[in-house]
Amino acid sequence: MKQPLFNEKTLVEEFLNKNLPPESEKPEVLHKAMRYAVLSGGKKLRTLLAVSACKAVGGTLDNALQAGCAVELIHSYSLIHDDLPCMDDDDLRRGKPTCHKKFGETIALLAGDALLTLAFEWAARAGISNPNRSSEIIIELAKAAGHAGMVGGQVVDIETTGISPSVDILQFIHHHKTADLILAAVVIGGIAGNGDKDQIENLRKFGINLGMAFQYIDDILDCSESSATIGKTAGKDKAAGKITAISVFGIEKAKEIAEKYKKQSMNTLINAGWSKNELSEIAEFVTGRSF
């Protein structure tokens, strides 16, 4: 990532390292697993989106850092659970053994639970620009992470494995399993910076289109890059019979659709007067990445 986003990623990692429970605190194995899941690499994209959205509406990095890191905890918990044998059953994440391969299934499951609950503590205590809007952040996070968001998307992803590809099912999975949390990160950043109604609506439009582009690119990379490059088991979705953008549209059409979502996200930024904001840098990174 370009400067200053690289510097902000470092600040995000420093915050997470400082504020996650130390490995020396009982129960040590739980805290080791939590830290392993959160600190073992990753783009920290959702926190960077929250910070950039906050600055777009006039806030500061400090207003959004903790709330944005709460979203990162939700994301990390979801990866732990997603990798479990009862879910997608993967041994590799971010180029390293998955949490359950490192600590066992029971500790991995509980580490995910602990990160999920800690996320809401962090969100509630975040030093946002207008403390009266704390509840908005918590509601946004809960909706994106729960039955109507990420968890619901995961359920449909599991239930439809092995069936004939469908555009409607694909859109539901992409929207809820992935895009909802990216959307939430952007909106939470806007709330943390005390953005007004129109600003928040523009952030919603940007966030959903970016989130959809992100998942289309993920599906493309799963088929076109190696495990070493993407940091997880390449080709696993196809082998498992998952509904993906590639199984529905083929790789070239999937690339076209990803580009369409990117353009829609960028047009929203232009219309909102944010074309020079860091959000545009993140959108370029998301759609041009190889991991």
Is the pLDDT assigned to residue 239 strictly greater than 90? no
Is the pLDDT assigned to residue 290 strictly greater than 90? no
- Return all residues near 95 (Cβ < 8 A) that are at least 6 apart: 41, 228, 231
Of 185, 237, 231, which is closest to residue 211 (Cα–Cα)?
185
Three-class DSSP category at 104 = coil
Task: Give dist(CA 249, CA 207) in Å, integer.
Answer: 23
What's the domain count of the chain?
A: 1
Contact 50, 11 (CB under 8 A): no
> Where residue 142 sits, what CATH number does that domain have?
1.10.600.10
> CA angle, 36 as apex, 45 and 242 as ends, to 5°?
60
Query: What percent of the chain is modeled with pLDDT above 70?
Result: 95
Of 145, 131, 156, 134, which is closest to residue 242 (Cα–Cα)?
156
Question: For residue 164, what are the domain limits?
Answer: 5-288
**H or E segment to which residue 32 belongs:** helix 28-39
Phi and psi, residue 59, nearest 5°:
-90, -170
Task: Give dist(CA 50, CA 55) in Å, integer.
Answer: 9
Mean pLDDT of 11-37: 98
93 beta partners = 96
Mean pLDDT of 179-183: 98
Of 101, 45, 52, 113, which is closest to residue 77 (Cα–Cα)?
113
Predicted confidence (pLDDT) per residue in 185-210, tens digit: 999 999 999 999 999 999 999 999 99
Whether pTM > 0.85 for this model: the answer is yes
Three-class DSSP category at 164 = coil
Is the pLDDT assigned to residue 59 strictly greater than 90? yes
Task: Give dist(CA 107, CA 32) in Å, integer.
Answer: 10
Report which residue type is found at 70: A
Mean pLDDT of 127-139: 97
